[in-house]
Amino acid sequence: MNGIDIQAIFFDECEESLQAAEAGLDACKAGTQDGETINAIFRAVHSIKGGAGAFGYEALASYTHVFENLLGDVREGTVPVTSDLVDMLLLALDSLRDHVESVRGGTPAPDDAAIKARLAEAHENVGKDGGAAAAEAAPAASAPEPAAASGSSDTDDLDALLDDLLGSDPAPAAAQAPVEEAAEDEGEVEGDEWALYVCPQAGAMDNGSEPLLWLRELVELGGTCVKCDESILPQIDEMDPKEGYLAWTFAMPGSVERDKVADIFDFVGEQCLVLYGEEALNPPARERKVAAPEAKAPPAVAPAPAAAPASAAAKTEAAAAPSPTAAAPASQSIRIDLGKLDQLIDGVGELVIAQAMLAQRLTNEGLAHFEELAMLEGLVRDIQESAMAFRAQPISSVFSRVPRLLRELASSTGKHVKLVVAGETTELDKTVIERLSEPLTHLIRNAVDHGIESAEDRQAVGKDPEGTLTLSAEQKAGRIVIRIGDDGGGINREKVLAKAIEKGIVDPEVHNLSDEEIDNLIFAPGFSTAAQVSSISGRGVGMDVVRQNVKELGGRITIESRPGQGTDFVLALPLTLAISDGMIVQVGDQSLVVPLTHVVESLSPAESEIKGMGRNIRMLNVRGQFLPIVPLRQLTGGPCADASAEASMENGVLVVVETERCGQAALLVDAIIDQRQFVIKSLDTHYRSVDGVAGATILGNGRVALIVDVDRLVLDMTSRRQAPAEAA
């Protein structure tokens, strides 16, 4: 693992820490101000600070240090959690996010002077007792930290630090007594001390950690180094630079909580052994490890001098030593580069196609009933489901960015909006998640700027002066449905239509547009009802971008607007863009794929179960419920005359499907061929968008089959049939 890989891990963990801190601050704003929530916020900022110092990002480390000082006061209870304080901390978190992004992108650090001054002022206004004085002294004590982290392995600096640590306590043995006496108390009694053992192991610095900084932070907390274990330090020509040879035992003041010390090692991972209290006084025996350039066989291991006495207590201690390592696998995880994950998904897709081709070939040879073939199909499905699960992420990663957006909009529009979120644990493909951020941002800006009225206008009509924005997500009919709703005034259709006529989008002679058609005019390129251009709206590009992005994802967007009550934008998106299950059907000489998530049942109806409704509509009676019949021959360009349709109904099969907006319908096909997994290929990428078609796939016989967009097809067919009926 090189430096670039380590930095990538740091930025990933920064994103996780920022999300955790924002979630904690949002909880505080909602009234949850318990100690665990405050500690989670503190740990998140502290983790970013530790990594920033290790990589030498001085501006980021300096800012997080000021931020952390105030959070430390909040955690200790010297600063009360008020609404104003939470608002300021949220602004500080926004600035911290900007710092991280500037470091990631290599751009200049953001201007943080104003927010740093506010944080420092709040920190300095803590009570005038000794605790406050110590808090004020903390920045000065730790100011050199970023500079030290940015340097190389400065051995003189380390030697000086060790001299200072050991020199400050001329009698380590004398200091050991109070540590042993207070080991069981672990800081419960003021004035007593408790022991801490720190032993970096091989790989401790692989993730950018720096033991020198740990020691400095322990000293800042009042710790005293009573022992530096050099027992396994080899000769310089035998040293392996990747190994850890030193270990330290500290006497920590009883007033310092264990959690505060543990925070220092949050960013370290499993490569540093940290023991507390009685365990710190009896650390496990250490083995000397030296570099062996030519040896393939394992070198002889000599016992550490400190573990020379072979007493019964030493045996018990050695038996207990593996316990910290044994517990580690429970929390182990691995980070995988997204490119490698994409390669895995692509490979699984090709495996699915190859398995389908093999099954087709064996079927043609009359060998389709082999048990091994069914076993192979089951294994391929398990691999596919596991691979897709790797890419699944909760939509909360997108929803979590909305609070900051609302804060920015509040400062520019003066409209304060309350956010209500539901279904944030709903999972969908990471690719969809990544491409969802931009359209969601445009929709929220539109809702706040155009949808929600000003506080004065809301009060005039009896509404709460604070608007409400609702975000929800749910899985429905094989898709994820995302709803962005506001409680504003709804779409002013007269104004929208007049603006569309003015811009030439609609012919002035057209007067019979439906409400839905008028609502959809806001997606037209260049359309905007804003009186003047601002940083938020007025250029007529936002909603056009939304529709285009949603379309590229294979989804659709609809509008539900109620005058005086608000507007909902409903996005229906595929759960994944890679692999799904489908029913392969025959229509004329074409094979089509109907996504299995839409299929309810299939049946061959009796003649008495099919009823006519007008000239163009046939209805299917399914247990007393009448469903419209949609012949798929029309999608393939085949004949759809009445005689052909009637003949198809007599000999064909009806597939009952569930749609998002039109309820259930029955698709008329000639025959059902198979049911299997299929790999989704985008038509937009390889050809162009086609109405009623969600994509394409490769069948087992090597032919290309179109994937039916069930929702769109049923909606278009029913709308086309209803129009002549209403005219008649």
β-pairing, 247-253 vs 224-229, is antiparallel
| Mean pLDDT (the chain, rounded) | 75
Exposure b/e, 68-99, CB count within 10 A at least 16 = b: bbbbbbbbeebbebeeebbebbbbbbbbbbbb
User: Residue 283: which residues within 8 A CB-CB, separation 6 or more?
Assistant: 197, 199, 229, 247, 249, 273, 275
Tell me the percentage of the chain whose pLDDT exceeds 90.
4
pLDDT classification of 312: cutoffs 50, 70, 90? very low
Q: CATH 2.40.50.180 spans which residues of the chain?
A: 579-727
Question: What pTM did the predictor assign?
Answer: 0.56
Q: For residue 173, is pLDDT > 60?
A: no
What pLDDT, on a 0 to 100 scale, did the predictor assign at position 483?
93
Higher pLDDT, 644 or 606: 606
What pLDDT, on a 0 to 100 scale, did the predictor assign at position 147?
36
Whose tokens are 């969809």? That residue is 432
Q: For residue 16, is pLDDT > 80?
A: yes
Q: For residue 348, is pLDDT > 50?
A: yes
What pLDDT, on a 0 to 100 scale, did the predictor assign at position 207?
62
Q: Which of 544-548, 575-579, 622-626, 685-689 has the highest mean pLDDT?
A: 622-626
Show the tokens assigned to 140: 């000065």
Closest CA to 655 of 589, 716, 712, 710: 710
Q: For residue 31, is pLDDT > 60?
A: yes
Helix, strand counts (H, E) of the chain: 27, 22
Sign of CA dihedral 516, 518, 523, 529: negative
Q: Residue 529 CA to chain centroid, in angstroms?
A: 34
Q: For residue 614, is pLDDT > 80?
A: no
Show the tokens assigned to 700: 């087992």
HSE-up of residue 689 (Cα within 13 Å, Cβ side): 11
Q: What is the mean pLDDT of residues 24-46?
A: 86
CA distance 587 to 630: 12
Q: CB atoms < 10 A from the CB of 216, how many?
A: 20
HSE-up of residue 291 (Cα within 13 Å, Cβ side): 10
What pLDDT, on a 0 to 100 scale, did the predictor assign at position 144?
37
Closest CA to 180 of 166, 194, 196, 198: 194
Whose tokens are 């200072």? That residue is 164
β-pairing, 671-679 vs 579-587, is antiparallel
281-295, 552-566, 668-682: least confidently modelled range: 281-295
DSSP character for 524? S
What pLDDT, on a 0 to 100 scale, did the predictor assign at position 232?
85
Q: What is the mean pLDDT of residues 59-80?
A: 88
Q: What is the mean pLDDT of residues 395-401?
A: 84
Q: What is the mean pLDDT of residues 672-695?
A: 77
Q: What is the mean pLDDT of residues 722-727?
A: 51
Judge whether 452 and 487 are in contact, CB under 8 Å. yes
Q: What is the mean pLDDT of residues 348-376?
A: 81
Q: For residue 411, is pLDDT > 50?
A: yes
Q: For residue 179, is pLDDT > 90?
A: no
Closest CA to 667 of 695, 706, 698, 708: 708
What pLDDT, on a 0 to 100 scale, did the predictor assign at position 185?
40
Judge whether 608 and 616 are in contact, CB under 8 Å. no
Higher pLDDT, 102 or 400: 102
Sign of CA dihedral 512, 516, 518, 521: negative
Specify the 3-state DSSP secondary structure of 530: coil
Q: CATH 1.20.120.160 spans which residues of the chain?
A: 3-150
CA distance 627 to 603: 13
Judge whether 706 and 587 are in contact, CB under 8 Å. no
CATH architecture of 3-150: Up-down Bundle (1.20)
Q: What is the mean pLDDT of residues 669-677?
A: 84
Q: Which of 164-178, 233-247, 302-316, 629-643 has the highest mean pLDDT?
A: 233-247
Sign of CA dihedral 158, 159, 160, 164: positive
What pLDDT, on a 0 to 100 scale, did the predictor assign at position 389?
78
User: Residue 241: which residues within 8 A CB-CB, separation 6 or more?
Assistant: none
* Residue-wise pLDDT tens digits, 632-650: 876 666 554 444 455 456 6
* Residue-wise pLDDT tens digits, 444-494: 888 888 889 988 989 999 999 999 999 999 887 667 889 999 999 898 888
Compute the chain's Rg from CA coordinates: 33
- Residues 314-322: contacts with CB within 8 Å, 24+ apart? 314/285, 317/282, 317/284, 317/285, 318/284, 318/285, 320/284, 321/284, 321/285, 322/284
Beta strands in 366-476 (DSSP E): 392-394, 417-422, 427-429, 467-476
Three-state DSSP string of 216-277: HHHHHCCCEEEEEECCCCCCHHHCCCCCCCCEEEEEEECCCCHHHHHHHCCCCCCCEEEEEC
CATH of 155-287, picked from 3.30.70, 3.40.630, 2.60.40, 1.25.40, is: 3.30.70
Q: For residue 436, is pLDDT > 50?
A: yes
β-pairing, 653-658 vs 617-622, is unpaired
β-pairing, 247-253 vs 610-613, is unpaired
* Residue-wise pLDDT tens digits, 318-334: 434 443 333 333 445 66
Question: Which residues share a beta bridge with 559?
Answer: 569
The single-letter code of the amino acid at 289 is K
What topology does CATH give the domain 395-574?
Heat Shock Protein 90 (3.30.565)
Tell me the percentage of the chain whose pLDDT exceeds 70.
75
CA distance 82 to 61: 26
Q: CATH 3.30.70 spans which residues of the chain?
A: 155-287
Q: Which of 369-373, 500-504, 639-643 has the highest mean pLDDT?
A: 500-504
Whose tokens are 């001054």? That residue is 117
What pLDDT, on a 0 to 100 scale, did the predictor assign at position 486?
92
Q: For residue 305, is pLDDT > 50?
A: no
Q: For residue 297, is pLDDT > 60?
A: no
**How distant, in Å, are the alpha carbons of 162, 226, 309 from that of 173?**
17, 8, 19
Show the tokens assigned to 577: 């863009």
18-32, 259-273, 345-359, 554-568: least confidently modelled range: 259-273
Sign of CA dihedral 61, 65, 68, 72: positive
Q: CATH 3.30.565.10 spans which residues of the chain?
A: 395-574
Q: What is the mean pLDDT of residues 540-552?
A: 74
* Residue-wise pLDDT tens digits, 103-117: 888 888 888 888 888
CA terminus-to-terminus distance, the chain: 73
Whose tokens are 């004020």? That residue is 136
Q: For residue 282, is pLDDT > 60?
A: yes
User: Residue 133: which residues within 8 A CB-CB, separation 6 or more?
Assistant: none
Specify the 3-state DSSP secondary structure of 105: helix
What pLDDT, on a 0 to 100 scale, did the predictor assign at position 589?
83
What pLDDT, on a 0 to 100 scale, did the predictor assign at position 469?
93
Q: What is the CATH number of domain 579-727?
A: 2.40.50.180
Judge whether 552 and 420 are in contact, CB under 8 Å. no
pLDDT classification of 568: cutoffs 50, 70, 90? very high
**How distant, in Å, are the alpha carbons of 19, 396, 415, 440 from that of 433?**
16, 10, 28, 11
* Residue-wise pLDDT tens digits, 227-270: 888 888 888 778 887 788 888 899 888 888 888 888 888 767 67
CA distance 648 to 654: 10
CA distance 668 to 610: 12
